[in-house]
């Protein structure tokens, strides 16, 4: 079966050679390449190189080189088809079914590609003919001199309705195939096809192999409906799979001196990509759509951390935000993005023209890591002037981290984002400090916690504090919070999913339990294994003994199902978590009802107030029913 070149390109675009080869050859990064011992000869000094940018391996000891298919053929003695099938399975690309008509379709596609190439050459010529005078003047004004036009194959489509059509038909093309190639538009009323691009500067769009697959056009008429126009989806061109300027970006990356790690930048438009290339910066641009998952995979094949440099206006920030959302599930160790915004609302083309290449390189080099950009976006979503809004930010940060598929990176992002949150709302430690050396210390195993955790990292409460806490409960402790606390003392690991939850650190809704619960959480953070006996002895030594007795007495009257001796550990954990959620919701409802009492002006306000009271009363009844 003949394999379509486009199918092979699709496989290779999804696989990084260093990842595949690195499973059989121990590789280490050396500049833009990876180096290791030859799999073909016995050697002590590494002479085997893998270049992800070029998609090739080079073995100087044996003289062998090639792509991933060649590597599998050479190292595992696979046939060409077996190697393709292996890589297709790894890339998640289904093998094409045998099709007797495939060769004919490939012949048709090649014919379309030939007409696209002929159109590109014609556009280039038109730019230099009399019809292209205004376009030439425009490019000069934009700081793009004639000597650069050939490098980027810039062209011009004159204003005539059928100028390109007439040229290609005279060369033997048929109008229907020019429509299929995206060069002509076929009217819906059945009229004669006409040129898609008219009175526009032309930017050829090439695929990963450098073949022209479509065009973009910039209107010369300022009143044109579309300032920029891209070709339509065709059998050769899929907007979400192609990046403008990819071939030139590869050349720049490949020419970088060994040991350097130049950036790969994603910009918004053709002229921005060209400006970066002229400044020696590898750059690409998506084609009028948000950056797609397929385009991200292309980028990561070339660079582990491409830089997204979108305009600072609202549209540019929305594009960056959409890219961020699409990238989050795909992030992995060694595979992320950075963000950069050029100064003063400019774009890269403006900076190059007004300040020069050095200024553009300097501005793009000032980047923000993905995690910081994500935090900044969520922080800016709303004013953080109330506890509810701050809690909303925390929830959004947790949700964003949870969308990362890689579990290790997901946990790292969650911790980093919440540390940033805590630092944003850091509270000064209370004036009453315990004896020096007690409690959690920055050098301990969990010493990376900051911010809200600072309240937990203070020295253990002194004996007077413990006695004061018990004194505040002299009139009795509510049985429901006492039950949660009693179980947490007996099984401190139950708090692991709530170490940063304000309801826990606020004593499960009972202010007198705050210091006790914070101390349990602090010890849980410090120790990987915290048993109930050790915890109880520690709490008693800190002066919480009287409070623990009060908690036990109140919990015994609660009827909490998770405290019953005949309940399994797994079921008790689940019941405790449900009770925690119910009491947390009950506390939130009490706060909402108190806040609403002063704003009952409309009938709708009263109805909402009654709904809140109804939900609160139902939760209270459910808690009391523990005794039934």
CA separation for the pair 480, 584 (Å, rounded): 11
CA separation for the pair 485, 492 (Å, rounded): 9
Q: Report helix, strand or coil for 307.
A: strand
The answer to whether residues 285 and 230 touch, using CB atoms and an 8 Å cutoff, is no
My answer on whether 189 and 283 are in the same domain is: no
Residue 170 belongs to some domain of the structure:
yes
pLDDT of residue 441: 26
pLDDT of residue 439: 28
CA separation for the pair 383, 396 (Å, rounded): 14
Q: Which residues contact 150 (CB under 8 A, 6 or more apart)?
A: 124
Residue 53 belongs to some domain of the structure:
yes
My answer on whether 269 and 201 are in the same domain is: no
My answer on whether 614 and 476 are in the same domain is: yes
My answer on whether 467 and 601 are in the same domain is: yes
CA separation for the pair 292, 298 (Å, rounded): 10
Q: Which helix (H) or strand (E) holds 368?
A: strand 368-369
My answer on whether 252 and 168 are in the same domain is: no
My answer on whether 216 and 301 are in the same domain is: no
CA separation for the pair 402, 398 (Å, rounded): 6
623: β partners: none
Q: Where are the beta strands (DSSP E) in 273-357?
A: 282-284, 307-308, 338-339
pLDDT of residue 25: 92
Residue 156 belongs to some domain of the structure:
yes
Residue 20 belongs to some domain of the structure:
yes
Mark which of 205, 237, 269 sits at the end of a domain.
Answer: 237
Q: Report helix, strand or coil for 585.
A: helix
Question: CB pairs under 8 A, 24+ apart, for 573-577?
Answer: 573/491, 573/494, 576/484, 576/487, 576/494, 577/494, 577/497
Q: How many CB atoms lie within 10 A of CB 477?
A: 22
Q: Which helix (H) or strand (E) holds 409?
A: helix 407-424
Residue 456 belongs to some domain of the structure:
no
My answer on whether 470 and 611 are in the same domain is: yes
My answer on whether 202 and 61 are in the same domain is: no
Q: Which residues contact 448 (CB under 8 A, 6 or more apart)?
A: 415, 419
Where does residue 257 rank: exposed (0-12), middle (13-18), buried (19+ CB within 10 A)?
Answer: exposed
Mark which of 237, 272, 298 sits at the end of a domain.
Answer: 237
CATH number for the domain spanning 585: value is 1.10.860
Tally of domains within the chain: 5
My answer on whether 546 and 482 are in the same domain is: yes
Q: Which residues contact 530 (CB under 8 A, 6 or more apart)?
A: 492, 493, 523, 524
CATH number for the domain spanning 355: value is 3.40.1360.10
Supply φ then ψ for residue 354, to 5 degrees. -95, -30
CA separation for the pair 51, 40 (Å, rounded): 18
pLDDT of residue 532: 80
My answer on whether 503 and 551 are in the same domain is: yes
CA separation for the pair 254, 282 (Å, rounded): 10
CATH number for the domain spanning 210: value is 3.90.980.10
My answer on whether 177 and 207 are in the same domain is: yes
Residue 446 belongs to some domain of the structure:
no
pLDDT of residue 462: 43
My answer on whether 129 and 59 are in the same domain is: no
Q: How many CB atoms lie within 10 A of CB 276?
A: 32
Residue 78 belongs to some domain of the structure:
yes
CA separation for the pair 430, 383 (Å, rounded): 27
CATH number for the domain spanning 31: value is 3.90.580.10
CA separation for the pair 120, 588 (Å, rounded): 65
Q: How many CB atoms lie within 10 A of CB 146?
A: 12
Mark which of 177, 207, 237 sits at the end of a domain.
Answer: 237
pLDDT of residue 274: 95
Residue stretches of the chain with pLDDT short of 70: 1-2, 98-100, 102-103, 258-259, 289, 427-476, 526-529, 596-609, 623-628
pLDDT of residue 258: 61
**In this structure, is the dihedral angle defined by the CA atoms of residues 234, 240, 242 and 243, taken in order, positive or negative?**
positive
The answer to whether residues 505 and 492 touch, using CB atoms and an 8 Å cutoff, is no
Domain assignment of residue 493, given as a range? 461-627
Residue 188 belongs to some domain of the structure:
yes
Write the DSSP string, 217-231: EEESSTT-S-SEEEP
CA separation for the pair 277, 347 (Å, rounded): 14
């Amino acid at each position: 079966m003949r394999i379509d070149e486009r199918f092979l390109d699709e496989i290779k675009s999804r696989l990084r050679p260093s990842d595949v080869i690195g499973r059989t050859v121990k590789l280490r990064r050396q500049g833009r390449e990876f180096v290791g011992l030859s799999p073909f000869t016995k050697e002590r000094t590494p002479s085997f190189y893998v270049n992800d940018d070029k998609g090739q391996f080079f073995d100087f000891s044996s003289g062998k080189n090639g792509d991933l298919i060649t590597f599998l053929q050479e190292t595992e003695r696979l046939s060409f088809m077996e190697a393709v099938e292996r890589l297709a399975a790894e890339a998640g690309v289904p093998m094409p079914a045998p099709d007797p008509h495939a060769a004919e379709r490939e012949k048709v596609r090649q014919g379309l590609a030939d007409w696209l190439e002929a159109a590109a050459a014609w556009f280039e010529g038109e730019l230099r003919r009399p019809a292209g005078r205004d376009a030439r003047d425009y490019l000069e004004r934009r700081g793009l001199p004639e000597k650069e036009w050939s490098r980027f194959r810039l062209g011009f489509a004159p204003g005539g309705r059928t100028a390109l059509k007439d040229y290609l038909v005279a060369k033997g093309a048929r109008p229907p195939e020019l429509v299929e190639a995206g060069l002509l538009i076929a009217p819906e009323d059945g009229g004669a096809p006409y040129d898609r691009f008219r009175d526009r500067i032309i930017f050829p769009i090439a695929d990963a192999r450098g073949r022209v697959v479509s065009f973009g056009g910039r209107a010369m008429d300022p009143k044109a409906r579309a300032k920029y126009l891209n070709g339509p989806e065709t059998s050769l061109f899929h907007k979400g799979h192609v990046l403008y300027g990819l071939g030139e970006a590869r050349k720049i990356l490949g020419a970088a001196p060994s040991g350097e790690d130049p950036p790969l930048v994603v910009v918004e438009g053709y002229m921005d990509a060209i400006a970066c290339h002229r400044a020696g910066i590898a750059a690409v641009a998506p084609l009028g759509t948000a950056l797609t998952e397929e385009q991200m995979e292309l980028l990561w094949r070339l660079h582990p951390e491409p830089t997204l440099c979108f305009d600072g206006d609202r549209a540019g920030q929305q594009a960056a935000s959409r890219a961020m959302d699409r990238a989050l599930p795909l992030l992995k160790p060694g595979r992320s993005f950075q963000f950069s915004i050029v100064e003063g609302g400019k774009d890269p083309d403006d900076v190059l023209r007004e300040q020069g290449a050095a200024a553009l390189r300097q501005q793009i080099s000032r980047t923000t890591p993905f995690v910081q950009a994500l935090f900044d976006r969520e922080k800016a979503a709303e004013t953080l002037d109330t506890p509810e809004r701050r809690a909303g930010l925390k929830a959004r940060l947790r949700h964003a981290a949870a969308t990362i598929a890689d579990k290790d990176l997901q946990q790292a992002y969650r911790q980093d984002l919440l540390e940033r949150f805590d630092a944003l709302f850091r509270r000064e430690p209370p004036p009453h400090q315990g004896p020096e050396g007690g409690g959690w210390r920055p050098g301990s195993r969990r010493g990376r916690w900051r911010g809200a955790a600072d309240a937990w990292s203070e020295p253990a409460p002194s004996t007077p504090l413990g006695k004061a806490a018990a004194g505040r409960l002299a009139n009795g402790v509510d049985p429901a919070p006492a039950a949660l606390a009693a179980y947490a003392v007996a099984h401190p690991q139950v708090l692991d999913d709530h170490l940063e939850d304000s309801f826990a650190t606020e004593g499960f809704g009972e202010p007198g339990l705050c210091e006790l619960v914070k101390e349990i959480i602090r010890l849980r953070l410090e120790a990987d294994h915290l048993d109930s006996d050790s915890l109880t002895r520690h709490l008693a030594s800190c002066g919480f003994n009287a409070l623990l007795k009060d908690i036990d007495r109140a919990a015994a009257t609660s009827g909490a199902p998770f405290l019953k001796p005949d309940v399994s550990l797994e079921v008790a954990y689940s019941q405790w978590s449900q009770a925690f959620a119910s009491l947390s919701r009950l506390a939130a409802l009490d706060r909402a009802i108190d806040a609403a009492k002063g704003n009952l002006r409309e009938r709708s306000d009263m109805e909402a107030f009654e709904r809140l009271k109804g939900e609160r009363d139902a939760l209270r009844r459910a808690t009391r029913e523990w005794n039934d």
